Amino acid sequence: MEQLRLWCAQAEPAPSPVALLAPEPISVPAQVLGPQALSQQLGRSVRLSWTCNHSTMISVRHRDDVLDLRLHRMFAGADPEIWSALVGYLRGGDRKANRTLDSFIAAHVGDWPPRRRSVRAHGRAHDLKVIFARLNAEFFHDACAARIGWGRAGPVCHRRSIQLGLYVTEEKLIVIHPSLDQSFVPDYYVAWIVFHEMLHDVFGIEQRRSRRSIHPPEFGALEQSFPDFARAKNWETQNLDRLLRFRRH
């Protein structure tokens, strides 16, 4: 059941104690199965909480003889078929119920606008917003509309490779690796990495037959037209090991 595997996050914090089957006022149509019937159908006490979480639609925890169930509010208006499928899912082993819930969740999530992650552009050594604005005015006639911010680094400090920049098409977002936010990294090198990702925003991703092309021939030509291209490549060759050893603080 692919979607329910996606939405059910075991790492989600435990729900706060709530009254059995009455966590907060919410209207559930009387004609549907409804939360009160879940306990009867499952043969055990059910503690139900409603959420507005955009990543976890259904969360289930077993605590002694009580089943803690957290549902997204979309289920409050669901018809009897969906509530019956929910019972089948909670009992386990009902593939048809799983498919029904998959379709119900997908239909609702598909109507949601894409989420925009919060990013920080001002760093300890470099301000990406300032660099971006300068490059946008000088090379792109302010046509690049992407957002930009520092990414996060994992705990690994013995890397064999490192992705210094990333362009997230769906969010029109440029993410720069925090290893570049160090005082020994020159501004022109950070600018070159940002320039590369800005080209992605301007060019987009071209579909060529069955493959997606993110670096068409003209992309490389424009990248090398960056005034500090040769100097940036030379600096990278001499300092790559230092970037690979970066550790988050």
Whole-Å CA distances, 185 to 134, 137, 150, 179, 180: 18, 23, 15, 9, 6
In sign, the C-alpha dihedral spanning 216, 218, 221, 222 is: negative
Alpha helical stretches, state H, the chain: 2-7, 34-42, 80-91, 95-109, 128-139, 187-203, 217-224, 229-244
**Is the separation of the CB atoms in 74 and 108 below 8 Å?**
yes
More confident residue, 235 or 56: 235
- CA end-to-end span of the chain: 39
pLDDT value, residue 175: 93
Q: Where in the chain is the domain with CATH 3.30.2010.10?
A: 128-244
Q: Per-residue DSSP letters for 37-87? A: HHHHHHTSEEEEEEE--SS-SEEEEEETTEEEEEEEGGGGG--HHHHHHHH
* The pLDDT of residue 219: 78
Contact between 184 and 242 (Cβ < 8 Å) = yes
Confidence of residue 203 (pLDDT cuts 50, 70, 90): confident
Calculate mean pLDDT across residues 177-204: 93
Specify the amino acid at residue 173: L
Decide if 89 contacts 68 (C-beta within 8 A): no
Q: What is the mean pLDDT of residues 153-167?
A: 78
pLDDT of 207 strictly over 90: no
Q: Which of 56-70, 97-111, 153-167, 171-185 has the lowest mean pLDDT?
A: 153-167
Q: Could you confirm whether domain 128-244 is CATH 2.70.98.10?
A: no
Share the mean pLDDT of the chain.
78
Instruction: Give the per-residue pLDDT at 187.
Output: 97
User: Does residue 165 sit in helix, strand or coil?
Assistant: strand
Residue pair 147/174 in contact by the 8 Å Cβ criterion: yes
Distant-in-sequence, close-in-space partners of 123: CB < 8 Å, separation ≥ 6 = 150, 178, 181
Indicate left, alpha or beta for 87 from its phi (over 0: left) and psi (-120 to 50: alpha). Answer: alpha
pLDDT, residue 126, reads: 97
The SS3 of residue 149 is: strand
Cβ atoms of 33 and 39 closer than 8 Å: no
Distance set, CA 40 to CA 45, 102, 166 (Å): 8, 24, 51
What pLDDT sits at residue 202? 84
pTM of the model: 0.54
Order of all β-strands in the sheet with 58-63:
45-51, 66-72, 58-63
Rg of the chain on CA atoms, in Å:
25
pLDDT confidence of residue 164: 92
Dihedral, 66, 68, 71, 75 alpha carbons, nearest 10: 0
Q: Output the pLDDT for position 188.
A: 97
pLDDT digits (tens, 9 = 90+) for 8-36: 333 333 333 333 333 333 344 444 455 67
